[in-house]
Structure 1
Amino acid sequence: MSTSFSVERRASYAGYETRELVVAGMGPTILLVHGFAHASEAWRQTLDHLHAAGQAAVAVDLPGFGRADRLQPGALVPQLDMFLTEAIRQNAGPEGVVLMGNSLGAALALRASRNSDLPVAGVVALDTAGITWKRLVSIGLGPIIAANHLSAALGFSARLHRAVVAKVGPRLLYGRRSAVDPDTVAELVAVAADPAETHRLMSLGARLKDELDENNDHGGVRVPMVVVQGARDRLVPVSAGRILHAANPGSRLVVLPHAGHCPQLDATAVIAQLARELAGISTETRDIS
């Protein structure tokens, strides 16, 4: 495992125990929200860049993922909304927080950014889930869940299961083969070693997709926003970023030609700089007022 400058700690938000990775520095704090089937480790490289710049940042494990408590029965997105709401309030200083989310995390960050009661100073949305999908996802996760059941029924070994994830996973997350980080892939493979956990995640993903797809209004973000889209994303098309940008006049659209579904993995330095620029803009705005 490569050296990281972030510090791990336990936290509790809205009744959910969780783990978060923290770097100290100047504010406003950048609050990092991971995507589906990820955890706060997805932001380790970003945290290292922010640490080097002296920027305060916190990456949290969402309920249902990583080392956080499981989600409760019932609708999932409202639970995640409550969790993120409390995380924002507890991590906000006088300058508020800048939210940066990827995929599911971006969708949640945008929902929070529409809430005028929350101290959100800006938002960076990376390859946002729930706007429009590429065909691989738009057909739904049912066939993938069925395939997972079939592989278990036929007695396919965990070793084969891990090998498939190790092959397919990087293609879904990254846009450039040269950017693939062995530690990140190893974390994906570790999850795939447990067929029951894989089934839980796939079932959870199907429910989250259905809930996110119910929202057709992508405007209303009330804070400075940067919309980032990886041109090589195999799950979410560039048109999703364009729709989000068009729905929120004044936002900035950045299309990264060599990035995949997780631009923070493909273009870490760029993503960290975008967050820092937005944090600087929000600070300047508050000073002027």
Structure 2
Amino acid sequence: MDDGFREIAGVRTRVLTVHGTGTPILLLHGFSDHAPGWRALLPVLEARGHAALALDLPGFGRADRMRPGPVMPQLAEFVEDAVRRVAAEQGPPLVVGNSLGGAAVWAAAQTSRLPLAGIVAIAPAGFGFTRRVRLGRRILARTPAALPVPILPMPVLRFLLVRGYAHGAGVGRRLDPAVADSWIAQFSRRGDLRDAAGLVARVLHEIDEVRELPVPAYPVLMVWGTRDRLVRADRPVPGTESIRVAGWGHCPQLEHPETLADLVLEFGSRLPAAQPRPA
């Protein structure tokens, strides 16, 4: 697996890459996650003959920070440029986006004639939240500023963050220690936590707008897990294919990489061509 950096849409970002000859697969992580969150899936795709790459989205992992202003247009610009670069080098990709990554490719795919084979949106943000998250959003709406950072020693905060990440992802104590170490490395300073808290508020302010966008004019598979503690589709999305997978949480790439690869590649095998369907 290659680990390096590239500039995409003016953003310097980390890229994890595996090689193959099949349809290239572009992997986009969710909020607070980063490219190494796909480390379990990448070698599975490579073993099955597909080139794949995972990126740090702007503002996450080791990518440049976001600019001031709305978040979703920046993510859409980044994903659109990433798709075009992959298509120019390897052919139109199948984009797999988890949570915020799913929302980002949905926004990017509003662009007509994007060289995009299709979209797999895993628990995409913006299409409905669980009751617990809806309650949390109402509380945050009454908070005048971004989430405060608790006054606790950093080792304690980092421990609690890892537990929260594992719980939200749906893997609990089954989280791979290497994945946990890589994820928490993003938050080595208290300032990193303040930045993340501010970004939470910005994303939540915009995320509901995603469902109001037209359905992308490309084949779309929406994947929902029955054990997802964060998002839940509150109504069907016409023009898309949808599946609910028993036992999956919010981030199945952490716990079910083989089964997720089966699902992604089966959908990819049915894609007619890398051209948008009529709107």
Does the 8 Å contact 2:44/2:261 carry over to 1? yes
Looking at structure 1, the residues matched to 49 and 25 of structure 2 have their Cα atoms a distance apart, in angstroms, of: 12
State the aligned residue count.
269
Does the 8 Å contact 1:131/1:218 carry over to 2? no
Q: Say which SS state the counterpart of residue 32 (structure 2) adopts.
A: coil
The answer to whether residue 128 in structure 2 is matched with residue 132 in structure 1 is yes
Shift of 1:24: 1.0
Q: Say which SS state the counterpart of residue 18 (structure 1) adopts.
A: strand
Shift of 1:147: 6.6
String of CA shifts for 1:238-267, please: whole Å, max 9, x gaps. Answer: x34xx3xx3233x33221221111111121
**What stretches of structure 1 of length at least 5 have no aligned partner?**
1-5
> Of Structure 1 and Structure 2, which has the larger fraction of its residues in helix?
1
Does the 8 Å contact 1:98/1:278 carry over to 2? no
Which residue pairs with 2:44 in the alignment? Answer: 49
Q: Which amino acid aligns with 1:103?
A: S
Q: Say which SS state the counterpart of residue 235 (structure 1) adopts.
A: coil
Does the 8 Å contact 1:30/1:57 carry over to 2? yes
Which residue pairs with 1:89 in the alignment? Answer: 84
Distance 1:113 1:270, change over 3 A: farther
Question: Which of 200, 208, 212 is residue 205 of structure 1 equivalent to?
Answer: 200
Does the 8 Å contact 1:61/1:68 carry over to 2? yes
Does the 8 Å contact 2:223/2:243 carry over to 1? yes
Looking at structure 1, the residues matched to 183 and 20 of structure 2 have their Cα atoms a distance apart, in angstroms, of: 30
Looking at structure 1, the residues matched to 197 and 131 of structure 2 have their Cα atoms a distance apart, in angstroms, of: 17
Distance 1:26 1:279, change over 3 A: farther
Shift of 1:160: 1.5
Report the TM-score, using the length of structure 1 for normalisation: 0.85
The answer to whether residue 267 in structure 2 is matched with residue 247 in structure 1 is no
The answer to whether residue 5 in structure 2 is matched with residue 19 in structure 1 is no
Distance 1:147 1:66, change over 3 A: closer
Stretch of structure 1 that moved more, 264-273 or 81-90:
264-273
Distance 1:78 1:285, change over 3 A: closer
Which residue pairs with 1:187 in the alignment? Answer: 182
Looking at structure 2, the residues matched to 148 and 192 of structure 1 have their Cα atoms a distance apart, in angstroms, of: 15
Which residue pairs with 1:3 in the alignment? Answer: none
Question: Which of 65, 89, 104 is residue 100 of structure 2 equivalent to?
Answer: 104
Stretch of structure 1 that moved more, 28-37 or 182-191:
182-191
Report the TM-score, using the length of structure 2 for normalisation: 0.88
Does the 8 Å contact 2:61/2:186 carry over to 1? no
Which residue pairs with 1:78 in the alignment? Answer: 73
Looking at structure 2, the residues matched to 13 and 192 of structure 1 have their Cα atoms a distance apart, in angstroms, of: 23
String of CA shifts for 1:140-177, please: whole Å, max 9, x gaps. Answer: 2736x87743x22xxx2112112222333211112464
Does the 8 Å contact 2:168/2:250 carry over to 1? yes
**What stretches of structure 2 of length at least 5 have no aligned partner?**
275-279
Looking at structure 1, the residues matched to 19 and 118 of structure 2 have their Cα atoms a distance apart, in angstroms, of: 19
Does the 8 Å contact 1:162/1:189 carry over to 2? yes
Looking at structure 1, the residues matched to 110 and 131 of structure 2 have their Cα atoms a distance apart, in angstroms, of: 29
Shift of 1:116: 2.2
Looking at structure 1, the residues matched to 146 and 108 of structure 2 have their Cα atoms a distance apart, in angstroms, of: 34
Q: Equivalent pairs: percent with the same residue?
A: 33
Written as runs of structure 1 = structure 2, the 5 A alignment for 1:102-181 is 102-138=98-134, 139-140=136-137, 142=140, 148-149=148-149, 151-152=150-151, 156-175=152-171, 177-178=173-174, 180-181=175-176
Question: Which of 38, 43, 62 is residue 33 of structure 2 equivalent to?
Answer: 38
Does the 8 Å contact 2:166/2:172 carry over to 1? no
Distance 1:111 1:147, change over 3 A: closer
String of CA shifts for 1:104-136, please: whole Å, max 9, x gaps. Answer: 000111222333221111110001111111233
The root-mean-square deviation of aligned C-alpha atoms, in Å, is 2.3
Shift of 1:25: 0.7
Distance 1:36 1:91, change over 3 A: same
Question: Which of 43, 62, 74 is residue 57 of structure 2 equivalent to?
Answer: 62
